[in-house]
Amino acid sequence: MPDDARVEEFREFIEKIREQHDVPGLSVAVADGDRILYAEGFGLRNVEKNLPATPGTLYGMASVTKSFTALAIMILEEEQKLCSADPVVRHLPEFRLTGGSSAEAVTIHHLMTHTSGMPPTGALRYSMIRSMEGDPSVDEIKRLGRWEQWTDREPIDTYEDLLDFIVDDDQPPLGRSGQQFSYSNDAYSLLGAIVERVSGQPFDSFVRERILEPVGMRSSTMGLDFLEEYSDVTQLYSQSEERGVIAAPKWQHAPAMLGAGFLRSTVTEMVRYGQMYLSSLSPGSGSLVGRQTVTRMTAPYFPCGRSQYYGYGLVVRPGYHGVTLVEHGGSLKGVSSHFGFIPEKDLTASVVANLQGIPASKIWLGAMNLMLGLPVDTQRSREPEYEASQEELERFVGSYASGEGALIDVLIEDGDLYAFIDNSTHLLRPSGPDTAAMMRRGEESMVRFIPGPTGEVEAMYTGLRIIRRISDQPEG
Active-site annotation, residues: 63
Give φ, ψ of 203 to 5 degrees.
-55, -45
Q: How far is CA 217 from CA 58, 228, 263, 360, 431, in A?
A: 11, 18, 11, 21, 43
Distance CA 262, CA 224 (A): 10
Q: Which residues contact 145 (CB under 8 A, 6 or more apart)?
A: none
Is the distance from CB of 328 to CB of 349 less than 8 angstroms?
A: no
Distance CA 366, CA 377 (A): 6
Q: How far is CA 129 from CA 123, 241, 273, 339, 404, in A?
A: 10, 22, 30, 27, 14
Q: How far is CA 61 from CA 132, 208, 247, in A?
A: 18, 15, 18
198-218 as b/e: b if 16+ CB within 10 A: bbeebbbebbbebbbeebebe
Distance CA 181, CA 460 (A): 12
Own/partner long-range contacts of 287-292 (Cβ < 8 Å, ≥24 apart): 288/75, 288/211, 288/214, 288/215, 289/71, 289/74, 289/75, 289/78, 290/78
Distance CA 20, CA 143 (A): 24
Cβ count near 408 (within 10 Å) = 23
